[in-house]
């Protein structure tokens, strides 16, 4: 149990860092409590927390993947925000999503830019 606890605690911290929220909520916990736990323990507590690649670099890999797949808009917005929280500039995010046009086509890039514009506007509104 302790060990699970360790992974969970480490994952929660990483997820708080990426989301910028004290109580990040990325899965419908009531419907799929185990999946919600896996996100924290495995997704963030194991993979994301590994040394060897900086969070600011992981976020580039993740927004590259999600923008290219083009079928997970909530997660793309979440991780564009996460890239900014991890220290990337808006310019770097826009450049990264523009680069996607070459590898996954213009529609994927254009829709990712729309997602970025929404994230930027939400952050501006919070300030």
Rounded distance between C-alpha atoms, residue 54 and residue 51, angstroms:
7
Site string for a second copy, 36-55 (x = CB under 8 A): --xx--xx--xxx-x-xx--
- Quick one: 20 or 36, whose CB is closer to a second copy? 36
Q: Is 9 in the site for a second copy (CB under 8 A)?
A: no
Three-class SS state of 16? helix
Tokens encoding 36: 């919600």
Count CB neighbours of 91 within 10 A: 8
Of the candidate residues 18, 80, 86, 96, the single one contacting a second copy (CB under 8 A):
96
Give the position of tokens 């808006």.
Answer: 90
- With beta carbons less than 8 A apart as the criterion, state whether 40 and 15 touch: yes
**Residues in touch with a second copy (CB under 8 A):** 1-4, 26-28, 30-32, 34-35, 38-39, 42-43, 46-48, 50, 52-53, 57-58, 60-72, 74-75, 91-92, 94-111, 113-114, 116-117, 120
């Amino acid at each position: 149990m302790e060990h699970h606890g360790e992974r969970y605690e480490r994952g929660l911290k990483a997820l708080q860092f990426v989301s910028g929220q004290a109580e990040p909520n990325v899965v419908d916990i009531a419907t799929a409590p185990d999946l919600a736990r896996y996100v924290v323990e495995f997704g963030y507590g194991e993979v994301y927390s590994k040394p060897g690649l900086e969070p600011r670099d992981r976020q580039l890999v993740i927004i590259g993947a999600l923008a290219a797949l083009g079928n997970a808009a909530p997660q793309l917005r979440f991780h564009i925000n996460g890239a900014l929280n991890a220290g990337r500039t808006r310019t770097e995010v826009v450049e990264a999503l523009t680069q996607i046009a070459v590898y996954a086509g213009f529609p994927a890039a254009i829709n990712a830019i729309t997602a970025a514009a929404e994230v930027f506007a939400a952050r501006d509104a919070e300030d």
